[in-house]
Each structure stands twice: as C-alpha cells, then as structure tokens.
C-alpha cells in the first residue's frame, strides 16, 4: 500500500494544527495570563500572603471543614477589590485550563476524524 498520502496528510495536519494553535490559542492564553498576573498583583498588594498561608496551615491541621471555612471567611472578609481579584484569578485560571485541555483534545481528534 502506498504510504505517501498518509505521510503528506500528517504533515499537512501538523501545519494546520500549529497555525490554529498560534492563531487561536496562543493569543488567548497570553491575554488570559496577563489578566491573571494583574489579578495576582492586586491580590498580593492587598493580602499578606505569608500570614494567610500560615493561618491556613493551622486551619488545615484542624481538618478539611475548618480549612475550607477559614478560606471562605478570609475571602468574604477581604476588601471588595481583593475579592474581585480572587474571582478573576479563579475564572481566568479555569479558562487557561480549558484552553490547554481543548488544545490537547483537538490534537488527538485530528488523527481520528474521517
């Protein structure tokens, strides 16, 4: 059987995937990363992170429920700007994970679809 068409198809699909990744995914991830950095910066400026970590380790020793309660209360009692930064950080983080998974899934599907 002639393997050449499969070889060319593979080359073409790799090029198409690279193009799609650079054109569609990379700019999106760059923008998301920039927003995430900004959110983290705001968060770091307003929260004494090492203290929070110290307290959370103490809370974690007391059990999961106490730990999550502590985290929840810490967020609720934070300033509105910090709360917004946390929400944005979590949202953007989720979007980045979604984009990475989507890229992996698309790459896998490229060789399966007929």
Partner 1 sequence: MENALKDEEILRLTIEDPSYFSILVDRYQIPFVRKALGVVKNKEEAEDIVQETFVKIYKYADNFKKQENIEFKSWAYKILMNTSFTHYQKLKKNIGNTEYLDPILYEDKLGENNELASLHDARKAVEKVINSMPEHLSRVLKLYYLDDKSYADICKIEKISIPTLKMRLFRAKRLFKKISVE
Between 12 and 73, whose beta carbon lies closer to partner 1?
12
CA 31 vs CA 28, 47, 77, 87, 100: distances in Å: 5, 24, 29, 17, 14
- Residues of this chain that interact with partner 1 (CB under 8 A) are 4-5, 8-9, 11-13, 15-17, 19-20, 24, 106, 109-114
Please tell me the total number of residues recorded for the chain in this structure.
Answer: 114
Cα-Cα-Cα-Cα torsion 56, 60, 63, 65, nearest 10 degrees, comes to 40
- In the bound complex, what is the minimum distance in angstroms from residue 35's beta carbon to partner 1? 22
Minimum CB–partner distance for residue 101 and partner 1 (Å): 14
Query: Residue 56 or residue 106: which is nearer to partner 1 going by CB?
Result: 106
In whole angstroms, what is the distance from residue 53 CA to residue 78 CA?
15
Residue 14: CB minimum distance to partner 1, A: 10
- Report, in Å, the least distance between residue 96 CB and partner 1: 18
Place of tokens 């930064």: 85
Q: Which two tokens stand for residue 114?
A: 């007929």
**Nearer Cβ to partner 1 (79/98):** 98
Nearer to partner 1, 83 or 106 (CB): 106
CA 57 – CA 67 distance, rounded (Å): 8
């Amino acid at each position: 059987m002639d393997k050449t068409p499969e070889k060319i198809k593979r080359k073409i699909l790799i090029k198409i995937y690279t193009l799609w990744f650079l054109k569609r995914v990379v700019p999106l991830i760059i923008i998301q990363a920039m927003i995430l950095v900004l959110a983290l910066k705001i968060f770091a400026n307003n929260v004494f992170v090492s203290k929070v970590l110290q307290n959370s380790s103490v809370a974690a020793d007391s059990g999961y429920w106490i730990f999550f309660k502590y985290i929840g209360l810490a967020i609720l009692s934070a300033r509105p700007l910090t709360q917004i930064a946390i929400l944005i950080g979590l949202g953007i983080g989720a979007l980045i994970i979604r984009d990475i998974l989507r890229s992996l899934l698309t790459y896998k599907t490229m060789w399966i679809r007929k």
